[in-house]
Structure 1
């Protein structure tokens, strides 16, 4: 382990699970401190990939869901790698520094993403390198943590490597399916700094720390999809409202674009992401993959779950498009947990284009009674 990990894991109350710092004994307090910008979190569940070379942006633009050719040093965005049927295979945060493009991926996805990118280079002047020696620190903007981490962040090409999560608003070329008046992601000012682990351990010794349980609870409350949570073998970006921040609908051709356009303009995604507020009276928290029911009918599965410092037990669930918009039940180990649903992606999402269609009425012979067509 690195000096930074060892220093943070040595703090009072730290609970390390599988090499990752889960919490420091009080996840609710840690959430509050993260949310107000007073704490940092070591993101050991994510990995850095560096893409260098003169063609890096045009090349990445040609094979991913995001428009990247005009990124300037310091710009942040995110991208998806789709299969030919438009299903999500990989996801990554994107940070440009003028000489390299830095990708941040979930650790379980990083090697597969890097391998796929390396295979796609062909004659492009681009080089893809996994950078596991670099650490990632998460924090929220506007507090003491931002100043401390930004000062300690790496700047190999003069631009400080701090990624700003675009989830707080609909990005250029994006589209939001959620119809709520106030999206919970609007206040999600999440930042991730790329740092050299051994160089920053002492610089951050005075900053409060939070574990990964806290970061996940705040993500889920913001309805923010993640590869390790919401992505399965058939996820379309529309189903998680991911077009909001990771898909540019007006860019050039890329793998999976035809499906993205067809579902957005002409159809409806077969599933839809929902937020669940769970009954906490029995102090039972469901697990990822637990089944969601509407009455006796199975309508979906839990994708992410947490205890939130204000909202209590919460979850994200992927539901059938035809699942009712009312209250649901989550079944875990034989126990039924009542769940109040907030619709993220409506059942009628998609079909946004005003495409003229011939109707049976418009084709009737002149003079025919339309009621008899």
Structure 2
């Protein structure tokens, strides 16, 4: 994927080397002001580095139902959801968001998304899905060159959509289309799947109507606050859906016939997961911060793994972490490795409920 043309917008700063958000703007000069605009009004984020797959054909829903973790046989036109691909042990291979509109299911996922093939090797997500078609009447294509993702975040999102002539779908994951744009309501904000050749035009149109440009720095901080996991950052090669709040959200516990379903059902019905994803408040006095993959320590003992690390405009430095379920919520923790170890405290509001929801109060407040 080539760099986004939005990087040519005045003030756009590219993401640093090694960032999963390379190719799109990291910020536009003031990431904290961008976050405040998203919390109080509305901001637009370039997420055009995400990959898209289009699924068509008369058996698209029945076939998808067999290969992903979500129940989609009755996914209505104008509806969306989240879903996973699991390996045979129930560990998460890939996460995707769906939008069903006009006889096409659009899957958008992380750049470089992959899955475990039938023989154990790693394949791109598209290659894996193609290998599972067999005789089903479906067609798949790489749609990354066709459409790009822009995200709107903030309480004024619906007003902005109206001003730009786009629909404002009601309800979680509701989908609508106009002017060649697919609009999908998300737990945090609204996603627009715009024609890629019109990406700059839609960016200009949205910003001219009042959306503040926001980079991935700000978007990631709001995602972490809302406790929304991200593949490869908040997951490792042992992660099961229950640990990161994807049961019910992206993995159906009652339907059978998908790889890894036995683990999903067993953990849901007879036990708690070995780890749970929590929000950590980090000591902001040192100049250093932990990095993704660093350990979470209780005394000298490793009790978790650091995931996404962010600097929030109100909360300061925060992180998502997979922490052993046995760790007390008031434990005095440290996060980091080598010379970047800082004190960390668990946010008690981040403790998942018995039935996972779609995020904490921040997600509801930021839903556009």
> Alignment partner for residue 114 of structure 1, among 104, 121, 126?
126
Whether 1:128 and 2:140 are equivalent positions in the alignment is yes
Q: Structure 1-normalised TM-score?
A: 0.80
**1:68-92: CA deviation from partner (whole Å, max 9, x where unpaired):** 1111122111101111111111110
Q: Give the count of matched residue pairs.
A: 325
- CA shift, 1:27, in A, is 0.7
User: Relative to structure 2, which stretch is displaced further, 146-155 or 44-53?
Assistant: 146-155
Residue of structure 2 equivalent to 1:230: 234
**1:83-114: CA deviation from partner (whole Å, max 9, x where unpaired):** 11111111100100031000010012167111
Residue of structure 1 equivalent to 2:119: none
User: Relative to structure 2, which stretch is displaced further, 254-263 or 195-204?
Assistant: 195-204
- CA shift, 1:150, in A, is 6.6
Residue of structure 1 equivalent to 2:191: 192
- CA shift, 1:159, in A, is 8.2
> Does the 8 Å CA contact 1:273/1:318 hold for their aligned counterparts?
yes
Structure having the higher Rg: 1
Cα distance in structure 1, aligned partners of 2:253 and 2:321: 25
For the structure 1 residues 254 and 70, does the alpha-carbon distance in structure 2 shift closer, same or farther, using more than 3 Å as the test?
same
Whether 1:151 and 2:170 are equivalent positions in the alignment is no
Which aligned pairs between 1:248-259 and structure 2 lie closer than 5 A? 248-259=252-263
**1:273-294: CA deviation from partner (whole Å, max 9, x where unpaired):** 1110111122322211111111
Show structure 1 runs of 4+ deviating over 6 A.
152-159
SS at match of 2:341: strand
Whether 1:307 and 2:311 are equivalent positions in the alignment is yes
Cα distance in structure 2, aligned partners of 1:241 and 1:124: 31
Instruction: Give the aligned CA root-mean-square deviation in angstroms.
Output: 2.7
For the structure 1 residues 335 and 255, does the alpha-carbon distance in structure 2 shift closer, same or farther, using more than 3 Å as the test?
closer
User: Relative to structure 2, which stretch is displaced further, 199-208 or 93-102?
Assistant: 199-208
Flag structure 2 segments of 5+ consecutive residues without an equivalent: 16-21, 115-122, 169-174, 356-368
SS at match of 1:29: helix
- CA shift, 1:127, in A, is 1.1
Residue of structure 2 equivalent to 1:340: 345
- CA shift, 1:145, in A, is 4.3
Cα distance in structure 1, aligned partners of 2:72 and 2:232: 24
Whether 1:211 and 2:215 are equivalent positions in the alignment is yes
> Does the 8 Å CA contact 1:278/1:340 hold for their aligned counterparts?
yes
- CA shift, 1:345, in A, is 5.0
- CA shift, 1:156, in A, is 8.1
Residue of structure 2 equivalent to 1:164: 185
> Alignment partner for residue 49 of structure 1, among 50, 53, 61?
53
Q: Structure 2-normalised TM-score?
A: 0.81
Residue of structure 1 equivalent to 2:9: 11
> Does the 8 Å CA contact 2:166/2:178 hold for their aligned counterparts?
no
- CA shift, 1:34, in A, is 2.5
- CA shift, 1:199, in A, is 2.2
Cα distance in structure 2, aligned partners of 1:149 and 1:298: 50
For the structure 1 residues 252 and 219, does the alpha-carbon distance in structure 2 shift closer, same or farther, using more than 3 Å as the test?
same
Flag structure 1 segments of 5+ consecutive residues without an equivalent: 169-187, 351-373
Cα distance in structure 2, aligned partners of 1:73 and 1:160: 15
> Does the 8 Å CA contact 2:180/2:195 hold for their aligned counterparts?
no
